[in-house]
Every structure is written in structure tokens, then in C-alpha cells.
Amino acid sequence: MALSRCSQGLSSVMALGLKCFRLVHPAFCSSLAAFTRPVSEITLKAVNGRQNNHGQYMASPAVPTRLFATKKAKAKGKGQPQTRVNLNTALVEDIISLEEVEEEMKSVMEALKDNFNKTVNIRTSPGSLDHITVVTADGKLALNQIGQISMKSPQLILVNMASFPECTAAAIKAIRESGMNLNPEVEGTLIRVPIPKVTREHREMLVKLAKQNTNKAKDSLRKVRTSAMNKLKKSKDKASEDTIRLIEKQISQMADDTVAELDRHLAVKTKELLG
């Protein structure tokens, strides 16, 4: 009898315990999940979690986003062409004549082209000697002004100095220092100029001469640009700072375009000389 009562009491206790366990089971499971969940997940949820419409947490990355361009993007941006200026010359004519500046720059270009045609050629012709500058007592004169130039044969050019015999020595010096690889010989007042053979060395010498003449042309171009900028500075009281800056950019742009043209002609001449 006592044993039966004891069994009934134990069953009641177990039933009560099971009922309590069922009540606390969800909370227990949640606590257990929290202890077994990875630390990174808990931290992410606590710091960066946000709830959706269903009350559930939506994790977002905790890594900050870079808001500046990468080096690759910056490098790409550097290669972008700059905006070109195209001013109406008539609107700024009272400040500076851009047409005159352009003409001066074109004159530099034409002078180089003329130089290439007359003095930087594989085949030497009488016309190549025409504009060789001779320093005389009366100043600098072109060779064809003081001497009569003619072609004796395909291999020989003659310069007759009978009209200005006193300039013969100066003419010989000018021909020799013309950069055309010429070695003149003198017979009284007659200068004989043998035409050199076309060798690889001669071609390379002409290319070097073409580069020197191109650099001189660039120096002349810089002088034109500097002169224009100086004129512009004197006219700053006639226009706003923005207008002056635009004109400066226009002048620099014109100079850059002319330099590119000079380089293009040099490249063509170099290819022609080297074959």
C-alpha cells in the first residue's frame, strides 16, 4: 500500500516537471542557440542588424565603403582630353588680335617647311644654296645676292663671285658651315661645290639638321607666344579675369597645335631622308 502511494506521488512529480519543461522549452532553446551561435554572427546582429517587415533581423556588412576613386580610375581620368577653347576673335579684338598671333605662328611653320625644301634634301640643287646666309662687311646677305649660282653637272655646282670678289672667303665659309655636308673649293673668284654622294651617314646628318631646324622653329614659336601673353597682360583692365584666362588658354592652344604640326613635318621629313 505504501509502495503504491509512493509510486503515485513520483508520477505526479514527473508529470509536473514535464509540464514545466514544456513551458520553458522555447526560452531554453533560444538561450542555448545564443550560446552556441558564432560570436561574429551575434556581433553582426547587435551592431548592424535591422528588422524587416516580419520582425526578423537582416544583417548588413560592417565594412565601411570607400567613397574615393581608385588609382586606376584616377589614371583613366588623367587621360581624358581637355576641353578646347574656340573664342570668337572679333569679340576680343579690342583686347588682342588673335588673328595676328595665328599668322605669326603660321609664319614659323611656313619658314620651317621652306627650310626643309631648300636645305634639307638628299639631292643638292642650285636652289639649295640660294638662301645660305653670308656675313659680309655690309651685313648678312643671301648667297644668291652676291654670287651667280649655276649647275655645272649633276655632281658639281658653281658659284661665280666676280661681282663681289671681296666676299669670296665669306661665301666659302658660309657654304662650308651650312650643315649641308658641302666642301667648297675656290679657283680665283669661282667657287666649285662638289655634290656629296648619298650615303647612310649623309642621310643621318640631314636628319640631325632637320631636328636642329625644328628646335629653332619651336624657339621662334615660344617667342611669339610670350609676346602675345605680354600684350594680354597689358590689357587686363579691358576685360574680366575669366575672359583673360580664356584668351590665355586660346593662345596656348594655338601654340600647342603649331608644335604638333612642326613635329608632324619633322616625322615626314625624317622618313623621307632615311628612306
What pLDDT tens digit does each residue of the chain (275 aa) get?
Answer: 444 554 555 455 555 555 555 554 554 444 444 444 444 444 434 444 444 554 444 444 444 433 333 334 344 445 556 688 787 777 788 888 999 999 999 999 999 998 898 778 777 777 888 889 999 998 999 999 999 999 999 889 999 999 999 999 999 999 999 877 789 999 999 999 998 888 888 889 889 999 999 999 999 999 999 999 999 988 888 888 888 999 999 999 999 999 999 999 999 999 999 97
Q: Is the dihedral of CA 121, 124, 129, 134 positive or negative?
A: positive
Domain count, the chain: 3
The residues that bridge with 151 in the sheet, in sequence order, are 157
The residues that bridge with 149 in the sheet, in sequence order, are 159
The reported pLDDT for the residue numbered 254 is 95
Residues 135, 18 share a domain:
no
Domain span holding position 149 = 123-194
Residue 217 lies inside a defined structural domain of this protein: yes
Distance CA(95)–CA(92), nearest Å, equals 5
CATH number at residue 207: 1.10.132.20
Pick from 159, 157, 127: nearest CA to 146: 159
Residues 209, 188 share a domain:
no
What are the residues whose beta carbons fall under 8 Å from the beta carbon of 268, sequence distance 6 or more? none
Residues 267, 204 share a domain:
yes
Burial of 249 (0-12, 13-18, 19+ CB in 10 A): middle
Residues 168, 204 share a domain:
no
Residue 188 lies inside a defined structural domain of this protein: yes
Number of helices (H) and strands (E), helices first, in the chain? 9, 8
Compute CA 153 distance to the chain's CA centroid, rounded to the nearest angstrom.
Answer: 48
The reported pLDDT for the residue numbered 99 is 93
Distance CA(175)–CA(192), nearest Å, equals 11
Residues 172, 131 share a domain:
yes
Residue 226 lies inside a defined structural domain of this protein: yes
Asked which of 150, 165, 194 is the last residue of a domain, the reply is 194
The x, y and z cell numbers of residue 179, run together, are: 650643315
Residue 133 lies inside a defined structural domain of this protein: yes
The reported pLDDT for the residue numbered 39 is 42
Residues 268, 145 share a domain:
no
CATH number at residue 185: 3.30.1360.40
The x, y and z cell numbers of residue 124, run together, are: 643638292
The reported pLDDT for the residue numbered 16 is 56
Residues 268, 204 share a domain:
yes
Asked which of 160, 194, 228 is the last residue of a domain, the reply is 194
Residues 204, 190 share a domain:
no
DSSP 179: S
Residues 237, 104 share a domain:
yes
Residue 78 lies inside a defined structural domain of this protein: no
The reported pLDDT for the residue numbered 26 is 52
The reported pLDDT for the residue numbered 35 is 45
Residue 183 lies inside a defined structural domain of this protein: yes
Residues 211, 263 share a domain:
yes
Residues 163, 31 share a domain:
no
The reported pLDDT for the residue numbered 102 is 95
Residues 189, 131 share a domain:
yes
